[in-house]
Amino acid sequence: MKKTFYLFALFIAALNLRPIITSVASIMSMIQSELGISALTASLLTTLPVLCMGLFAPAATTLSQRIGLERTIFISLLLITLATALRSVDPSVTILIVTALVGGIGISLAGPLLSSFIKKYFPASPGIVSIYSVSMTIGAALASGLTIPIYTQRQHNLSLALSCWAILGIVAVLFWVGLIRKNKPASSRTERVKLPLGNKKAIQFTLFFGFMASMFYSLTAWISPIALSFGYSSQSAAILLTVFTLIQVPVALLIPNLVNRSGKIKLWLVLCSVSELIGLVLLLSPMPMLPAVIFLGIGAGGLFPLALMLPIMATNTAEEAGTWSAMSQMGGYIMGAFGPLIIGWIFDLSGHFYGSIMAMLVIVLLMISVQLSMNMGRKAVETPHDNKLQNN
C-alpha cells in the first residue's frame, strides 16, 4: 500500500512536467498569428523553459539537501502550477515568456529529483523510471491533443486553452501536501554530494541527453508547423503531434523492461536513435507524414526513459542519483534548448523546413556516435568507487 502511494506521487508529479510546453507547441501557429510574432520569437516559448531546465538543474540538489527531497519537489510543482495559471491573465508575449521561465525553473527542480525519488523509494527497481516517463508523456499528450479543441470550442480563447492545464498542478500540489506531512525533514548532512564533472561516463550521459533533448523539443515544437507547411490542415497537424506523443507511451513502458531483462542498454539506445533517423528520412520523402511521425515517436519514446535510467543505474544512493541526473539534465537541457530555436531560425532564413530536417539528421548521427562510444554492460559505470562523486 505504501509503495502504491509513492508510485502515485511519482505519477501525478511527472504528469505536470510537460503540459506548459506542449500546450504552446500544439497551437504555435495560432499564437504566431494572434500575437503577430515570428517563428524565431515563437520558438522562445519552447526554448526558454528547456533552457531553464538546464540552467537551474544543479539548484535542485542543493535545495534538496537543505530542505528535503519531498519539499523541493513540492515547491517545483507549485511553481509550475502558478506559471500555468498565470497564463489566464493575458495572452501577451510578455506573460507567455515570463510563465515559460517560471515553469521552466519548476521543471528544472522536479526533473532530477524525481530520479532521486525513484532511487530512494525503489532502490532495486530502476525500471520504475517507466512510470515517470509514461506519466510525463501522458501529460504531454493530453496538452497537445486537447489544447486545440479547447481553443476552438471556447471562441479562440488563447488564455483558457493555455491556462486550463493548471488543474493537473492543483491536484498534484494537494496530494504532495499530504506526502510532505508524512515525511519529516531529514537531519542536515555534513557531506555534500557533488556533481560528477570530471567523470567520463557522466560527460557521455550529458552529451547523449543533450542530443536527445534537442531532437525531442524540436519535434515537439515543430511537427505541427512542418505538417502545415506540407499542406495539412491545422486539425490534421495537431493529430500528427498527438500521434507522435501517444506512441511514446507504450514504448516508454516497454523499453526499460527490455533493458532490465537483456542488460543491453547500448543496443536499445542505438535502435531508438535509428528509429528517429528513419523518421527524418521519411519526412524528406514524398510519403504521407504518418509513418515518419510513428518512427519519430518510437525513437523519442524509448530514448527519454533510457536517459533517465542511466544515472539511476550508475549510482548507489538517492543523493548520487540526483547529482548525476542534475548534471546530465543541466548540460543536456541547455543543449536541447537550442534545438527548437535553430529549427525556427533555419525556417525563417529558408522559408521551408527541409534545411531544418537536415539539421535534425545531423543531431541524430552525433547522438548515435556518442552512444557507440559508451562502454556499458549491465552496470552503467566502471566501479562503485567512481560513484562517490569526489571533487575533481
Task: Write out pLDDT tens, residues 29-78.
Answer: 888 888 888 877 887 887 788 888 888 988 998 899 889 999 999 999 99
Contact by Cβ (8 Å): 175, 8: yes
| pLDDT (tens digit per residue) in 69-125 | 999 999 999 999 999 999 998 878 899 999 999 999 999 999 899 989 998 898 878
pLDDT of residue 390: 35
Block residue for cell numbers 528547456: 50
| pLDDT (tens digit per residue) in 275-333 | 999 999 999 999 999 999 999 999 999 999 999 888 888 778 888 888 888 899 899 88
What is the sign of the dihedral through the CA atoms of 31, 32, 36 and 41? positive
In the chain, what percentage of residues exceed pLDDT 90?
44
pLDDT of residue 192: 67
Cell of 135: 506519466
| pLDDT (tens digit per residue) in 164-207 | 999 999 999 999 998 988 776 655 444 566 888 888 899 999 99
pLDDT of residue 184: 65
pLDDT of residue 39: 74
Q: Looking at beta carbons, which pairs linking 99-103 to residues 24 or more positions away fall under 8 Å?
A: 99/20, 100/20, 100/24, 100/44, 100/45, 100/46, 100/48, 100/49, 100/52, 101/48, 101/49, 101/52, 103/20, 103/21, 103/49, 103/52, 103/79
pLDDT of residue 388: 38
List the one residue out of 2, 5, 96, 51 whose CA is nearest residue 340: 51
pTM passes above 0.75: yes
**pLDDT interval class at 217 (50, 70, 90):** confident
pLDDT of residue 124: 77
Contact by Cβ (8 Å): 280, 294: no
| pLDDT (tens digit per residue) in 365-378 | 999 999 999 876 43
What's the half-sphere exposure (Cβ side, CA atoms, 13 Å) at 216? Answer: 29
At residue 380, does pLDDT exceed 50? no
CA distance 232 to 234: 7
Average of pLDDT values for 3-17? 94
**pLDDT interval class at 246 (50, 70, 90):** confident
List the one residue out of 15, 19, 308, 8 whose CA is nearest residue 136: 15
pLDDT of residue 377: 43
pLDDT of residue 1: 64
Q: What share of the chain is helix, strand, coil (3-state, %, to 5)?
A: 80, 0, 20
Average of pLDDT values for 341-349? 85
